[in-house]
Amino acid sequence: MAEPRIGVYICNCGTNIAKVVNCDKICDSVSKLPGVAVARTYKYMCSNPGQDMIVQDVKQLDLDRVVVVACSPRMHERTFRKALRSAGLNEYLLEMANIREQCSWVHDDEFAATNKAEALTRAAVRRVAYHEPLERLSADMCPNTLVLGGGIAGLTAALEMADAGHKVFLVERDDHLGGNLARVDLTAPYLDSARDLLTERITRARESKNVQVMLGSALKNLSGFVGNFVATIGPAGSEGRTEQETSVDVGAVVVCTGYKEFDASRITYFGYGKLPNVITSFEFERMLRAGRIETKEGKTPQYVAIVHCVGSRSQEFHGYCSRVCCMTALKYAHEIKSALPDSYVSDLYIDMHAFGKGHEDFYKQSSEAKTLFLMYGKNEHPVIKRAAPEDGCEMLIEVVEKLSGEAIEIPADMVILMVGMEARADADRVARLVNISQDKEGWFIESHPKLDPVATTTEGIFIAGTCAFPKDIPDTVAQARAAAARILGKIAREKIEIDAVFAEVNEDLCSGCRMCNELCPYSAVEFDSEKRRSRVNSALCKACGGCVAACPSSAIKARHFTDQQIAAQIEGVLL
Amino acid sequence: MAIRVNPKLIDELRKYGAEDVSMCYHCGNCSAVCPHSQEPYVFPRRSLRALQMGLESRMRTSIEPWLCYYCGQCSDQCPRDAEPGETMMSLRRWLISQYDVTGLGRYFYRSWKAELAAVLLVFVCTVAGLVLYGSSVGSIHVYDGPGAFLPSEAIHLFDFLLAGALVVFLGLNAGRMWWLTMIKDRKERAPLSLYVRRIHLLPLHFFSQMRYAKCGDTGPWLVHFCVVFGYVTMLVLIMGFLEAMQAGPEIRWSVHAFGYAASAALLVATLMMVRARLVKSGPQGHHTHTTDWMFLLLLVVLVVTGIVQHAVHRLGYETAANVAYVVHLSIVVTWFSRYPFTKWSHIIYRPLAMYFAEVRREVSGTHARQSAAPVAGPQLQGHAA
């Protein structure tokens, strides 16, 4: 191997680095290293003059490798790669040594910090000598989209894609569209009909030539990678029957599988299942949709009590807030008061979460409608009992009321339990099929909770709505549209760019043990049963290196993280 | 033992003037701003809570509404317009009806028609009774001395009978108030010695209404003080010196010096109160219950008829003086007949409440020190309740 010509550029980062690390000393010592053609320091290497300095040196001094000694590559690797490209060098011939986050920001002792920075610089110089020029790959982006779930999220995402002129496969387990929203009467806080919200969307989806609605069906298998997935769809619930399955090509998947409601019979002290007039919020929605609020005995209830946080915000069940129940409870108070003006509504809550647009006003209106709000402690709970005949009501709810400090009993003829949301029982199956992760409660995990809320760690798989976490209709719709926008962006570019850094199997060395197949967290390693060799799908590989380390035949090489490169880096530190 | 929530009670209290209490979401600004709210009597928030929840037994035994003089700062500060000041006022009205052993107050507070009917009935009956009596003992043309239409000794005796009946009713109601606030639902009883040691509070608060003066603006207190001063002075004059006042017209004007001062104070202060409610100035002026109107209007009529009667008497028109006297006396009877059942009874509940509150505070304090456990009134118990 010919002697490389390496340029080393040490950044002061204003005083961020220079006040602790002696940059000039590093510059002196590094310039004496073999292969280093030039070493310079500069105030801000990432600035335009700093980048120009590198570009000029590459051209004039005929450099073939560059080491930037500055901040974390997460901060500026892109910047310096771009500089190399503009100088006519392959961008992978760059290495960065992080002497800001790893030295100047975490050490006080100038001598020790400088020594450490020097070691990291030596390591980078040694490593960069073994860098190879790499090329990014690209693949076609299939403009079709698979949407899982026909609730408000799925419908919205599907229509968004269809309106943009792209084909959508809308897969729904049930025999009808609408999801959980189809079980709701009015919506809070503006008391719009849920039916009105849905009907327009369902009709449009059914009539759109771009949307293929697949009712009673489910995703059976998904292979391929972003832009090039093959989805197998079959009848929901019939496992293993392949003759009714169809395969479709899609470029991206939006998972909108929604939630299921908490099973109230898991809580004994509410008497759900034993006391006939203790019902869940969804059972009450059914009454509202039928237009008749009455007890199981067919009587009009005089006292109606609403209990919040059933299954939510508790130590025993789910610790999280289900977000929609507070406003739904207020909606019930309104609907009960307007249907039965002589009734009395008690609302038992832990905290009133009225965070959304119009929610606070809605809360105030509920007070005006004389809803009796009763507060109980987070770690306490109301107990519902059958009342005696002389009590003049069906049930009595015992609770310690926080705002008065009194142990009270509340008369009730009907109790509505505001059951929270939880992840669907089949969420883990869906997660496995599309290769995304779940948190400890079973919700799908987003790529970044703040900055990338609808993407997942698998490229091309998006999540929207309540399959990721409880949320209300506006947030769900916003996410569905966001996911559609992300996919439309990819479709508009037509090509999928694949990072040049991935693992490769040397077929001559592979013994076909398939250890790596199971190990890969991204399902990127496939087995070629004809050749009896494993093969890495470069588009799926995230270059984590798991298979490289595990391979007993050392048959897998990670591009840009070769054994030679890493060994040289370690040597550099230890010298 | 859990207390039963009564969601219907809030509807009942609407009739007593508590219209906005369901708006309260318990921020506690009202209790923070109230100049009288002090442990162990923290209000108005807790009183509002008991009312919202319909904790009837707690409300009935509470003393807090009587410690409020309605300066209105709580209502000004309320972010939800729940009118805590008016709620306390309504609770006082409700408590008066609860203390009333006859139960008549409940009818008067809940229906202005019932109240008006009662007022008219008593007035007409009294007029009829006085005319019948006067005609049987004398002549309408004779005001004083032999043959007088309404002889002063007889009227004096009648006054004492009326006062005796009032004392009986008021005594019974005050006893019920004492039982509710000091005995019922209370763990610790105050020893007799403590009642004796603090007895001076009763006349002190009766005459001075000094807590009212601590509400910030002393204007309303001064007006109120004038009414009480005038009223009490007139009461003393009538009960003690009726014969001397009815004599004349030849007696000296200066005999009436006290009476004139008292009447002037009473008339001016009462008219100021009427004006405040008419133009809706000040916190109380914004909310006037029908019983408040009845109270003020009867008082104005009482004072005016008294003055007219005195004037025609002094001018020597004996017949006219007798007619005016019948009207005035009938108003007096009408006025006093409402005394134990509605607003005016606060004249004894207020000082009693100050007295009881202090006794209760001291006995709770002693108890707390001895047992080293937090003890407070039923309204004030913490979570462990």
**What total of structural domains would you count in chain B?**
2
Q: Which two tokens stand for residue A232?
A: 């197998």
Q: Sign of torsion, CA A357 A359 A360 A362? A: positive
Q: What is the pLDDT of residues A408-465, one digit of tens each?
A: 999 999 999 999 999 999 999 999 999 999 999 999 999 999 999 999 988 999 999 9
Cα B361 to chain centroid distance, Å, stands at 24
Mark yes or no for CB contact A406/B385 under 8 Å: yes
In this complex, is the C-beta atom of B26 within 8 Å of any C-beta atom belonging to chain A?
yes
Scan for tokens 């080393």, then name that residue: A8
Distance CA A54, CA A8 (A): 9
Tell whether B38 is covered by a domain: yes
In this complex, is the C-beta atom of B51 within 8 Å of any C-beta atom belonging to chain A?
no
Tell whether B358 is covered by a domain: no
* Number of residues in chain A: 575
Q: For helices B152-178 and B318-338, give the axis angle rounded to 10 degrees.
A: 10
Mark yes or no for CB contact A405/B383 under 8 Å: yes
Of B4, B10, B381, the CB nearest to A405: B381
CATH number at residue B236: 1.20.950
Residues of chain B with C-beta less than 8 angstroms from the C-beta of A410: 5
Cα A487 to chain centroid distance, Å, stands at 15
pLDDT band at B316 (very low <50, low <70, confident <90, very high): confident
Distance CA A382, CA A347 (A): 12
Candidates A364, A403, A415, partner chain B, best to mutate (most B CBs within 10 A): A403
Distance CA B153, CA A390 (A): 58
- How distant, in Å, are the alpha carbons of A76, A276, A293, B10 from that of A107? 22, 68, 69, 67
For chain A, list the domains and their CATH numbers: 6-134 (3.40.50), 145-258+424-496 (3.50.50.60), 275-416 (3.50.50.60), 499-559 (3.30.70.20)
**Per-residue pLDDT at A22:** 97
Asked if residue B40 has a cis previous peptide bond (ω within 30° of 0), the answer is: yes
**Per-residue pLDDT at A521:** 87
Distance CA A149, CA B143 (A): 100
Tell whether B70 is covered by a domain: yes
Same domain, yes or no, for B28 and B125?
A: no
**Per-residue pLDDT at B379:** 44
- The residues facing A304 across adjacent strands are A345, A414
Tell whether B132 is covered by a domain: yes
Q: Are A343 and A301 in contact (CB under 8 A)?
A: yes
Tell whether B382 is covered by a domain: no
Give the full edge-to-edge strand order of the sheet including A168-171.
Answer: A211-214, A168-171, A145-148, A252-255, A461-463
Cα end-to-end distance, chain A, whole Å: 22
DSSP states of A462-491: EE-GGGTS---HHHHHHHHHHHHHHHHHHH
Of A370, A402, A409, the CB nearest to B4: A409
Same domain, yes or no, for B84 and B225?
A: no
CATH number at residue B91: 1.10.1060.10
Same domain, yes or no, for B86 and B165?
A: no
Tell whether B345 is covered by a domain: yes
Q: Which two tokens stand for residue A137?
A: 């790959």
Tell whether B354 is covered by a domain: no
Tell me: ipTM over 0.85.
Answer: no
Candidates B5, B24, B25, B27, partner chain A, best to mutate (most A CBs within 10 A): B5
User: How many of the other CB atoms lie within 10 Å of CB of A135?
Assistant: 9
Of A344, A404, A411, the CB nearest to B49: A404
Distance CA A324, CA A472 (A): 6
How far off is chain A from B2, nearest CA to CA, in Å?
5
B56 CB-near residues (< 8 Å, 6+ apart): B6, B9
The parts of chain A modelled with pLDDT lower than 50 are none
Same domain, yes or no, for B163 and B226?
A: yes
Same domain, yes or no, for B14 and B120?
A: no
Closest to A182 measured CA to CA, from A199, A200, A164: A199
Q: Which of residues 1-20 of B touch A (CB under 8 A)?
A: 1-5, 7-8, 10
- DSSP 8-state assignment for residue A391: G
Distance CA B352, CA A53 (A): 93
User: How many of the other CB atoms lie within 10 Å of CB of A493?
Assistant: 11
Same domain, yes or no, for B208 and B324?
A: yes
Candidates A347, A348, A404, A415, partner chain B, best to mutate (most B CBs within 10 A): A404
Q: Which of residues 79-108 of B touch A (CB under 8 A)?
A: 80
Cα A78 to chain centroid distance, Å, stands at 25
In our burial notation (b when 16+ CB lie closer than 10 A, e otherwise), range A418-432 reads bbbbbbbeebeebbe
A104 CB-near residues (< 8 Å, 6+ apart): A13, A16, A17, A18, A19, A20, A21, A113, A117
Closest to B205 measured CA to CA, from B2, B342, B369, B347: B347
- How distant, in Å, are the alpha carbons of A509, B249, B317 from that of B144? 138, 10, 12
Pick from B58, B74, B99: which residue ends a domain?
B99
Percent of chain B predicted with pLDDT > 70 = 94
Q: What is the pLDDT of residues A278-325, one digit of tens each?
A: 999 999 999 999 999 999 999 999 999 999 999 999 989 999 999 999
Residue B148, pLDDT above cutoff 90:
no
Mark yes or no for CB contact B7/A408 under 8 Å: no
Same domain, yes or no, for B139 and B44?
A: no
Mean of pLDDT over chain B: 89
Q: What is the pLDDT of residues B216-232, one digit of tens each?
A: 888 889 999 999 999 99
Closest to B351 measured CA to CA, from B219, B154, B231, B200: B200
At B281, the amino acid letter reads S
Distance CA A31, CA A6 (A): 10
Scan for tokens 């919700």, then name that residue: A443
Same domain, yes or no, for B80 and B173?
A: no
How far off is chain B from A352, nearest CA to CA, in Å?
10
Distance CA A150, CA A158 (A): 9
Determine phi and psi for A278, rounding to 5 degrees. Answer: -95, 115
Same domain, yes or no, for B116 and B196?
A: yes
Residue B380, pLDDT above cutoff 50:
no
In this complex, is the C-beta atom of B264 within 8 Å of any C-beta atom belonging to chain A?
no
Q: Which of residues 150-209 of B touch A (CB under 8 A)?
A: none
- DSSP 8-state assignment for residue A41: E
**Per-residue pLDDT at B385:** 34
Mark yes or no for CB contact A373/B25 under 8 Å: yes
Tell whether B2 is covered by a domain: no
Residue B382, pLDDT above cutoff 50:
no
In this complex, is the C-beta atom of B367 within 8 Å of any C-beta atom belonging to chain A?
no
Same domain, yes or no, for B83 and B122?
A: no
Residue B374, pLDDT above cutoff 90:
no
Residue B381, pLDDT above cutoff 50:
no
- DSSP 8-state assignment for residue A428: H
Pick from B99, B120, B151: which residue ends a domain?
B99
pLDDT band at B250 (very low <50, low <70, confident <90, very high): low
Query: Closest-CA residue in chain A for B27?
Result: A403
Average pLDDT of the residues in B81-93 = 95
Distance CA B233, CA B226 (A): 10
In this complex, is the C-beta atom of A388 within 8 Å of any C-beta atom belonging to chain B?
no
Distance CA A211, CA B317 (A): 104
Q: What are the strands, taking DSSP E only, across A43-144?
A: 65-70, 94-98, 137-140
Same domain, yes or no, for B95 and B118?
A: no
Task: Give the CA dihedral B77, B83, B85, B89, nearest 10 degrees.
Answer: 180
* Domain membership of residue B35 as a residue range: 9-99
Same domain, yes or no, for B128 and B220?
A: yes
